[in-house]
Amino acid sequence: MNEAIYPWQQDAWRQLQGVRQRLPHAVLFHGPAGIGKAGFIEHFAQALLCEDVRPDGHPCNACASCGWFVQQSHPDFRRVRPEALEEDGAGEGEEGEDKKKTKAPSKEIKIEQVRALADFMNISTHRQGLRVVVLYPAEALNMPASNALLKTLEEPPPGTVFLLSSNSLDRLLPTILSRCRKFALALPPHADALAWLASQGVADADGWLSEQGGAPLAALAQAETGNREEMDTLLHYLAHPTVETALRTADKMQKVPLSSVVAWQQRWLYDLFSMKLSGRIRYYPRYQRELKGLSERVPVAGLLAAIKSTAERRGTSDHPLSPKLFLEDMLLDYTACCS
Ligand SMILES: [Zn+2]
């Protein structure tokens, strides 16, 4: 067992060594969000650049190349991801200086970022080995950036490997898909994910895991955000919607990122709809009884309207004019759909 990758990724790592034998120009790793794909492909990138790779395919962590990689300064490596991820601290300080930006960081991968790779690919490699580009999430590529990347994938520069990762293949251009060797990373078995969460000190791991659809890193992130109380307040409201509680609940959500509140409500609606159709729920098993009661009461048309309007709100939740009004509006809308 290698600790640089997650326990549930060990088999995938072994399979990946077969891919490495005949390495394509581009590999697209795909699977649900929150299972650790980015870390996995970065580890593979390090292994591809390592000058003394171990028999099991893991990097040696001792050669010059590994040293540069770990210090974020490998000359033959580039990472392309949305600005928003850089600022999340998901990464590692290389671009974090400019703290006083007035504009919100972009969630898209832009064409300039793809174009910037051209210079990188046109010079010879520093270590006479491969050049590796890691890009994620691929669905963050906007249209011009997708087209620019496609051109590169169509005429792959020699000695360059692209490692892409995606949470949703259906949001990628088919022409990009067809240029990549696909490699699936699956949700871990429930027991493995639970054991891992417990090892991270997460209490009520089972609850968090269900709420995140079985994705352990997403569950950990939620458990660590400290918003559990607010989440319970919201779920309690969603289970017993009235105009009065809608307003009170909106008031209590002020400190939570709006996108989280919208996501919680989206999962709730997913469960409600699923309960109505099939009697099954996925995210909020603790509310089984309430979901069942509501599903018998709420008309399908109202439910579909709530699902649609909540999805639309997800798109605007980053920049509402007034977070409070945004929340009141969303919750009152839900109350109306349920009555
Ligand atoms: Zn090494």
In this prediction, residue 169 carries a pLDDT of: 93
Where the chain has pLDDT below 50, the residues are 88-101
Taking the centre of ligand 1 as the mean of its atom positions, its distance from the CA of residue 42, in whole angstroms, is 14
In this prediction, residue 102 carries a pLDDT of: 58
Taking the centre of ligand 1 as the mean of its atom positions, its distance from the CA of residue 327, in whole angstroms, is 50
In this prediction, residue 249 carries a pLDDT of: 95
Taking the centre of ligand 1 as the mean of its atom positions, its distance from the CA of residue 126, in whole angstroms, is 15
Taking the centre of ligand 1 as the mean of its atom positions, its distance from the CA of residue 74, in whole angstroms, is 12
In this prediction, residue 124 carries a pLDDT of: 72
Taking the centre of ligand 1 as the mean of its atom positions, its distance from the CA of residue 194, in whole angstroms, is 32
In this prediction, residue 95 carries a pLDDT of: 38
What average pLDDT does the structure give for the chain?
A: 88
Taking the centre of ligand 1 as the mean of its atom positions, its distance from the CA of residue 19, in whole angstroms, is 19
Taking the centre of ligand 1 as the mean of its atom positions, its distance from the CA of residue 217, in whole angstroms, is 27
Taking the centre of ligand 1 as the mean of its atom positions, its distance from the CA of residue 58, in whole angstroms, is 9
Taking the centre of ligand 1 as the mean of its atom positions, its distance from the CA of residue 50, in whole angstroms, is 4
CB 269 within 8 A of CB 239: no
Taking the centre of ligand 1 as the mean of its atom positions, its distance from the CA of residue 132, in whole angstroms, is 15
Taking the centre of ligand 1 as the mean of its atom positions, its distance from the CA of residue 64, in whole angstroms, is 7
Taking the centre of ligand 1 as the mean of its atom positions, its distance from the CA of residue 72, in whole angstroms, is 14
In this prediction, residue 244 carries a pLDDT of: 94
Taking the centre of ligand 1 as the mean of its atom positions, its distance from the CA of residue 65, in whole angstroms, is 6
Taking the centre of ligand 1 as the mean of its atom positions, its distance from the CA of residue 125, in whole angstroms, is 16
Taking the centre of ligand 1 as the mean of its atom positions, its distance from the CA of residue 163, in whole angstroms, is 19
